[in-house]
Structure 1
Amino acid sequence: DITYFATDHNEEEILNPIMEDTDLKISDLKKNEVILDSSFKEDEGIQVGDQVIDKTSKQKLKVVAFAKNAKYGYSEIGFISSDTYTGMRQKTDPSYQWQAQTLVTKKSITSSDLASNLMVADKKQVIDKIPGYKAQNLTLRMITWVLLLASSAILGVFFYILTLQKLKQFGVLKAIGMSMSQITYVQLSQLTIISLIGVLLGLGLATMMAPFLPNSVPSFMTLKDNLTISVSFILTSILCGALSLVKIKKVDPIEVIGGNGE
């Protein structure tokens, strides 16, 4: 299962993938040569110099290099030249003529610079148009945020139960002169420390598990996503846990110490 990326005139070299153990570029590809995603080497045992056969056209392709994380959605990519792709298609459709679907450049382009049958799109717009990507990505993000809110709520409930069990202690603290602001600082500090421990454990386990996941399970951890989720978890945990402060504020030291508190 593969998605072919057929390229031509790659002068700016901005489409080149991250290569493994070679300086080969897409523009260096000759006819009937292919650069495969590294998962083919790891899962299928394919090596540089091997020949693979395209299932539809029966065309033999020589593997000249491997690229890291070369995927289109969840499908592995095979980089080939436009001549190679044209030859493969013409075996099943003799009238086929290759035409680029996308023109990629670093230059600043506006719609007025292009023919009427072309449109300008940035990187994000192109990615969002990958079949199934937007819906799938939205679903995964929703699951992530639901789990984040649920775990934060559990931590908040845990602290609320602890607060109910220690109302007498809070009554004593108030009786000896401890202010509500000091109690709030202690509670929120404990919440922050527990949240940080949870975040560090979660990130550590995810980092350790990632190398052992099969290539069929794409796993990418980015600094931006990790920071966003970590900070959001800590903040929502503090907010949920802070609800216990409402109960503490209502504590009457005389009633609680006297045994009438709930």
Structure 2
Amino acid sequence: MFLSLREFKHAKLRYTLIASIMILISLLVLFVSGLAKGLSSANASSIQYMNTDYLVLQKDADKRISHSVITEDQMNKIGQYVDKKDSTPLSVQMTSILKVGTSNKIDTTIFGINADSFIAPKVVEGKMINNNTTNEVVVDNALKNNGLKIGDLIKDQISGKEFKIVGFTENQSFSHAPVIHMNYKEWSSIIQSNQNNKTYNAIAIKANADNAQKIEKNVSGVQAISKTDALKGIPGYQEEQGSLIMMIAFLFVIGAFVLAVFFYVITIQKINQFGVLKAIGSKTSYLAKNIISQVITLTLGSLVISVALTYGISKILPSSMPFILNTQLVLGCSGLFLLVAVLGSLLSLYRVAKIDAIEAIGRAF
């Protein structure tokens, strides 16, 4: 560490430039990662945060909730393999609404649920509906950006029915649309279903893997999938996340190459000094520790600055931009970036190990 600090002091401009590049790369990695997590949440937070273990869908629905149709008979059979309190139906309908008295249409997703079940969302403002509520709904707080508030009336464009907003939830979106939760009494009035032939899109269950397999084996025409698989079935989710993850991976690869080149060039410039140090008894391990300490110090310093900048930028982003930066994401990206930086220095370590003291000293003269 002694040599590292001496070098930082002696070549301030050189290491400042390297640190600046590291800050920019790590800032870009953190920003794109935050954007990826934000888009993931905007696309599927209602499923991500749903308090369930598995979703039972129609077998031929390609794991897409919106394509699935589960009959009342199938739901009753599913209930034979889990406790009644651990299974509940879920219905999904994409629609558009408008605030009564305005003409501005808003894309939303309606979830029909049992309001007393374990998948009922947590209300952060106002009150929760119940199964006897009439013309009342709770909506995701993203709709506040559209000027909606508690007590406002909204109109469903498909059925023409009006509802009163009585509460707001959070982290409830589906396919990039805020979710409106209502009970099955109101759901039936929207889709005008035959009460003698009820159908649902999915059955949410709280069960272990064995029970899920029993349901698939013994209930005809259904499959039990995890929430992770259900997320992949949301249109565009995999493609969107795949593109962003590929971008992040390339940024890490680019960062590794850039850092490897910088430190290798610096090592080449210092071959004579390393040769002298070896000639007077310095071990290769000592010189390697010097390089590693330089890399770690620069990387940690750069990460501290880039994390601070990313949090600062997130504060001025518009609320409509899907961007999430939490502690787990920051620590994960920072740890991976530190690992990439150390791996990028291995080429320099190899070069130092191969230095011949006599040859290096001779070259100096």
For normalisation by structure 2, the TM-score amounts to 0.63
Q: How far off its partner does 1:169 sit?
A: 1.8
Q: Which amino acid aligns with 1:256?
A: A
Q: Which moved more, 1:50-59 or 1:143-152?
A: 50-59
Moved beyond 6 Å, runs of 4+: 93-97
Q: Which amino acid aligns with 1:33?
A: E
Unaligned ranges ≥5, structure 1? none
Q: How far off its partner does 1:49 sit?
A: 0.5
Q: Could you say what secondary structure the match of 1:107 adopts?
A: coil
Q: How far off its partner does 1:204 sit?
A: 2.7
Q: 2:125 matched to which residue of 1?
A: 21
1:175 aligns with 2:279: yes
Taking a change above 3 Å as real, the CA distance of residues 258 and 26 of structure 1, as seen in their structure-2 partners, is farther
Q: 1:118 matched to which residue of 2?
A: 222
Distance in 2, Cα, partners of 1:97 & 1:70: 29
Matches within 5 A, 1:51-70: 51-70=153-172
Taking a change above 3 Å as real, the CA distance of residues 34 and 213 of structure 1, as seen in their structure-2 partners, is farther
More strand by percentage: 2
Q: Could you say what secondary structure the match of 2:303 adopts?
A: helix
Q: 1:71-105 deviations in whole A, cap 9, x for unaligned?
A: 11422111122222222223xx8999652211113
Aligned residue among 38, 53, 66 for 2:141: 38
Matches within 5 A, 1:106-255: 106-108=206-208, 109-113=211-215, 115-255=219-359
Q: 2:184 matched to which residue of 1?
A: 82
Q: Which moved more, 1:50-59 or 1:63-72?
A: 50-59
Unaligned ranges ≥5, structure 2? 1-106
Distance in 2, Cα, partners of 1:2 & 1:111: 33
Higher relative contact order, chain-length normalized (CA < 8 Å, sep 6+): 2
Q: 1:196-217 deviations in whole A, cap 9, x for unaligned?
A: 2233333333333334333443
Q: How far off its partner does 1:20 sit?
A: 1.8
Q: Are the counterparts in 2 of residues 19 and 65 from structure 1 also a CA contact under 8 Å?
A: yes
Q: 2:199 matched to which residue of 1?
A: 99
Distance in 2, Cα, partners of 1:194 & 1:187: 11
Distance in 2, Cα, partners of 1:244 & 1:172: 17
The number of aligned residues is 255
Q: 1:149-194 deviations in whole A, cap 9, x for unaligned?
A: 2112211211111112222221221122111000001111111122
Distance in 2, Cα, partners of 1:253 & 1:213: 55
Q: Percent identity?
A: 27
Taking a change above 3 Å as real, the CA distance of residues 71 and 214 of structure 1, as seen in their structure-2 partners, is farther
Taking a change above 3 Å as real, the CA distance of residues 87 and 47 of structure 1, as seen in their structure-2 partners, is same
Q: How far off its partner does 1:62 sit?
A: 0.7
Q: Which amino acid aligns with 2:219?
A: A
Distance in 2, Cα, partners of 1:82 & 1:95: 11
Q: Which amino acid aligns with 1:16?
A: A
Q: Are the counterparts in 1 of residues 125 and 169 from structure 2 also a CA contact under 8 Å?
A: no
Q: 1:20-73 deviations in whole A, cap 9, x for unaligned?
A: 234x445467232221211211x2221101111222322211111111121114
Distance in 2, Cα, partners of 1:62 & 1:118: 36
Distance in 2, Cα, partners of 1:219 & 1:54: 29
TM-align CA RMSD: 2.6
Q: Could you say what secondary structure the match of 1:138 adopts?
A: helix
Q: Are the counterparts in 1 of residues 111 and 180 from structure 2 also a CA contact under 8 Å?
A: yes
Aligned residue among 61, 72, 92 for 2:174: 72
Taking a change above 3 Å as real, the CA distance of residues 46 and 29 of structure 1, as seen in their structure-2 partners, is farther
Distance in 1, Cα, partners of 2:273 & 2:153: 75
Q: Are the counterparts in 2 of residues 29 and 80 from structure 1 also a CA contact under 8 Å?
A: no
For normalisation by structure 1, the TM-score amounts to 0.85
